[in-house]
Amino acid sequence: MGRRLSGQGHGMTGAGWSILGTLSRLRGPWRGRQFGDPGRPRAISPRLTAAEAEALRVRLTPVLARLTAERAAIFRRAETELRLKTGVAALAGLGLGWTMGGLPGALGLAALAAVFAVLLLAGRVQEAPRSIAKHVILNKMGQMLYGLSSVAPGARAQALPLGRIDGWRLFGPVHTVTIDDRLEGLRDGQRVAVSRVGLQFGTAGNRSTENGAGLCFVLTEITAPEAPDDLSGALTVVVAEDAPAQARAAPGLTHGLSVSQTGDAAFDARYRVYGDAEVLGPAARAAFAGIEALARADRTATREVAPGSGLRPWVVIRPGRLVVLTPLALFDGALEPPLLPQPLLAEALIPAFASDLASLNDHLTVALTLMKGLSR
């Protein structure tokens, strides 16, 4: 596909060299990509009608113009600050290097200090404008296309607290939760949410030993109006047999849940069910095929494979509640706004974000089918 999400590298501030502008062109037009191998993003398949595309263009064009102006102001301030701090770092490196090894060492250390400062500060500068722009675009388009509202970045941790994740009784200790996107709304009279979530495992005392041991998911949550607030009742946890060994065993070893059989040999060969298996009647078991069709993470959860051939989903079922976690190969955001200083252009962003939203809506649709098939 290779389509850029912005103009052809032109900055917001006109001609002239800039640190952020150079880095944004080197790093590419988005922080991540639609999940896939670096440099090979998924093809855009927005599934928009002409009327939908035009309505989105009319609604988003002034919003994107406002965001672009705000980003231009942020860029100017950030570029000035970045040049100042880079210069200070270079001078500090020059002074330290001179005391250690004369002019050659001083120049080398100054250069290293400047590069380190740029790499350290530039990412921080980019993150807030990227996150805000993505939230605004997802919110406007999500509401128009699917009746879903984007949760603001600062409110996502409260919307999905660590205590709720622990209550799924799926994993061992989780020490860090990263929520890159979260959309919420009503569907079929039920509260629904779909998120991209990254989890890092381990306790506060052994985080360093768990580096790289995280997992990433598209997380879908459905809550019926009659769902009780008390979560101490019946529980069913479904873990795919192709999940990592530690993850397969955690509901039993960590949380004391017992394995039960559905009586469906083909299903029981693919999934390990903990707790009450009676809720997984024929309709519910059949609904897993729709979720499996969206699975794209390979067994290492580091690379994408063809849809339907990836790691199978994990599911948590309580009375009136359903949680579906579909593993992701990478957690780097899906289609993204371009980095500073590039402008936000409706003709590029609308198809890209429509494609991304359609993918999230697919996950929500198949989860709703499973919810309807549950026996309790």
Give 73-103 pLDDT, tens digit per residue. Answer: 999 998 888 888 888 877 887 777 777 777 7
pLDDT band at 281 (very low <50, low <70, confident <90, very high): very high
**Given a cut of 70, is residue 121 above it in pLDDT?**
yes
Pairing of strands 236-240, 259-260: unpaired
Whole-structure pTM value: 0.85
Q: State the pLDDT at residue 205.
A: 60
pLDDT, tens digit, for every residue of 333-356?
456 788 888 899 999 899 989 988
Is the model more confident about 178 or about 60?
60
Q: What percent of the chain has pLDDT over 70?
A: 86
Q: In what order do the strands lie in the sheet with 215-223?
A: 148-150, 174-187, 190-201, 215-223, 321-327, 314-318, 236-240, 271-275, 259-260
Q: How many residues does the chain have?
A: 376
pLDDT band at 222 (very low <50, low <70, confident <90, very high): very high
Mean pLDDT of 266-275: 96
Q: State the pLDDT at residue 335.
A: 67
Mean pLDDT of 8-19: 53
**What is the distance between the alpha carbons of residues 48 and 145, in angstroms, rounded to a whole number?**
9
Mean pLDDT of 111-128: 77
Q: State the pLDDT at residue 41.
A: 60
**Mean pLDDT for the chain overall:** 84
**Cα-Cα end-to-end distance for the chain:** 44
**Given a cut of 60, is residue 112 above it in pLDDT?**
yes
Chain Cα centroid distance, residue 305:
18
Q: Which of 77-81, 104-108, 256-260, 294-298 has the lowest mean pLDDT?
A: 104-108
pLDDT band at 376 (very low <50, low <70, confident <90, very high): low
For residue 304, the 8-state DSSP code is B
Mean pLDDT of 195-216: 69
**Given a cut of 50, is residue 313 above it in pLDDT?**
yes
**Three-state helix/strand/coil letters over 60-80:** HHHHHHHHHHHHHHHHHHHHH
Q: State the pLDDT at residue 164.
A: 93
